[in-house]
């Protein structure tokens, strides 16, 4: 700490006060001292607890360490996006669990955002029926415990749907039964590289079109259609790529066999129940956040927009939502985190997420501390990443005041 006497005369005296103040009484010094003391205390307590635990485990002959992660897991996992079999090590099983958790989280977050925003705007609609329906939805789903909802969806899916042998076949190629949803997927072949290239080209063209449209709007005020041409370009690009690639047409269609459905892609009833349940539950909260965020914008803003002749949709899009966003984003990210963490309830209906895998591992190896540490670290990292993203967004969106 530089005392004020040592500072060059050009610098104004620091806020630590006049030269007479002893450094023991300066605010900056005290702040630093308190922080150092806090860190020391935390380290001491943490060290004591850790030492104690290790000592107790040693006395009782409980093994510790993360070495077991390299041993074969020996249990199978019901569903996985990654190749996995029971002879692979525990760490691989954890990765599969994490990927299953993230799969629910990502799909759930996307669906929740869309659905929740629509519901929130619907709650402010002038249409009585729509408004009432949205309100009823919100009140119903956010007031029933989420675990109950997951169980309910799971039972609906597994009890009310027919057996695989009598699977519902609403659209050709889609089968819905107690065992989940089967759907057609294209078989990968080299020709699909061209299709992907075509899709990439379509994206580039759509992006270029959107830029030109914005430019045209700025130069001449012409409002070119953007959405449909962009979609058209994506489709056309993909189609051309597919034609160039020799029209690889092999599609893996699920087929109805004697007893079961084979082939195609499939999602399990567990995955559907978890994703659907969490989406429906979290969307109710997001809707409330969106509604209150829009309502938090002062009335005068809408009045000014109206008096300028903006339509209701323009008012929402150009005036209300941009201002509401700053209020909406932080609590919505919180809901994203909640959704991700709530996905651990999946264990109740047997979806193999991180917690479920971790539980199995714990039962087999008895390494409770290690398993729980890993789980906590993963969820902590996910949370911190989200928080960092939110902070970055908030600084970018902050309204400039003097």
Partner 1 sequence: MSDVIISFAKVNKWFGQFHVLRDIDLDVARGERIVICGPSGSGKSTLIRCINRLEEHQEGHLSVDGVELTDDVKAIEKVRREVGMVFQQFNLFPHLTVLENLTLAPTWVGKMPKKEAEERAMAQLERVRIAEQARKYPLQLSGGQQQRVAIARSLCLTPKIMLFDEPTSALDPEMIKEVLDVMIDLAGQGITMLCVTHEMGFARSVADRVIFMDQGQIIEQNSPTEFFANPRSDRTRDFLSKILSH
Residues forming the site for partner 1 (CB under 8 A)? 217-223, 298, 300-301, 303-311, 314, 318-319, 322-323, 399-402
Question: Of 40 and 304, which has the nearer Cβ to partner 1?
Answer: 304
Q: Are strands 185-186 and 180-183 parallel, antiparallel or unpaired?
A: unpaired
Give the span between the Cα atoms of 1 and 25, in whole angstroms. Answer: 13
The residue assigned the tokens 């189609």 is 239
Q: CB atoms < 10 A from the CB of 181, how many?
A: 22
Nearer to partner 1, 205 or 210 (CB): 210
What residues are paired with 247 via a beta bridge?
Answer: none
CB 313 to partner 1: min, Å: 10
The β-bridge partners of 168 are 176
| 278: helix, strand or coil | helix
Cβ closest to partner 1, residue 59 vs residue 399: 399
Nearer to partner 1 by Cβ, of 57 and 329: the residue is 329
Measured from the CB atom, the residue of 302 and 338 that comes closer to partner 1 is: 302
- Report, in Å, the least distance between residue 126 CB and partner 1: 12
Residue 113 beta carbon to partner 1: minimum distance, rounded to whole angstroms: 21
d(CA 181, CA 268): 7
Which of 190/399 has CB closer to partner 1? 399
- Give me 261's structure tokens: 């459905």
Q: What is the smallest separation between the CB atom of 316 and partner 1, expressed in angstroms? A: 12
Q: Which long-range contacts (CB under 8 A, 24 or more apart) does 380-385 make?
A: 382/105, 382/337, 382/340, 383/337, 383/341
Q: How far is the CB of 395 from partner 1 (least distance, A)?
A: 15
| CA angle (139, 140, 144) in 5-degree steps | 110
Task: Give 158's DSSP letter.
Answer: I
**Nearest distance, CB of residue 303 and partner 1, angstroms:** 6
* Contact criterion met (CB below 8 Å) for 167 and 174: no
């Amino acid at each position: 700490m530089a005392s004020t006497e040592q500072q060059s005369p050009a610098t104004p005296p620091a806020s630590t006060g006049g030269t007479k103040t002893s450094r023991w009484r300066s605010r900056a010094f005290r702040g630093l001292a308190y922080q150092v003391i806090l860190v020391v205390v935390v380290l001491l307590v943490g060290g004591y607890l850790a030492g104690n635990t290790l000592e107790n485990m040693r006395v009782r002959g409980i093994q510790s360490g993360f070495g077991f992660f390299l041993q074969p897991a020996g249990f199978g996992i019901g569903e996985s996006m990654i190749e996995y079999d029971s002879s692979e090590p525990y760490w691989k099983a954890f990765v599969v669990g994490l990927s299953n958790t993230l799969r629910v989280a990502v799909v759930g977050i996307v669906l929740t955002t869309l659905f929740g925003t629509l519901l929130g705007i619907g709650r402010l609609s002038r249409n009585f029926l729509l408004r009432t329906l949205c309100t009823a939805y919100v009140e119903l789903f956010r007031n029933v415990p989420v675990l109950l909802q997951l169980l309910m969806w799971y039972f609906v899916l597994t009890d009310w749907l027919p057996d695989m042998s009598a699977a519902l076949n609403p659209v050709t190629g889609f089968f819905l039964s107690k065992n989940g949803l089967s759907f057609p997927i294209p078989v990968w072949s080299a020709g699909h590289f061209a299709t992907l290239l075509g899709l990439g080209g379509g994206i580039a063209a759509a992006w270029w079109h959107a830029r030109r449209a914005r430019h045209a709007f700025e130069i001449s005020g012409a409002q070119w259609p953007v959405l449909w041409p962009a979609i058209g370009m994506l489709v056309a690009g993909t189609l051309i790529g597919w034609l160039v690639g020799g029209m690889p047409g092999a599609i893996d269609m699920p087929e109805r066999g004697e007893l079961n459905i084979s082939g195609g892609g499939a999602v399990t009833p567990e995955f559907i129940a978890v994703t659907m349940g969490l989406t429906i539950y979290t969307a109710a909260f997001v809707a409330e956040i969106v509604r209150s965020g829009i309502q938090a914008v002062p009335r005068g803003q809408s009045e000014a927009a109206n008096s300028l002749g903006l339509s209701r949709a323009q008012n929402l899009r150009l005036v209300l939502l941009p201002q509401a966003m700053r209020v909406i984003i932080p609590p919505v990210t919180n809901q994203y985190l909640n959704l991700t963490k709530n996905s651990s309830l999946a264990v109740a209906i047997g979806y193999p997420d991180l917690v479920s895998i971790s539980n199995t591992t714990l039962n087999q190896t008895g390494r409770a501390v290690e398993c729980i540490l890993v789980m906590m670290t993963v969820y902590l990292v996910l949370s911190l990443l989200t928080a960092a993203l939110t902070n970055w967004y908030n600084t970018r969106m902050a309204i400039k005041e003097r």
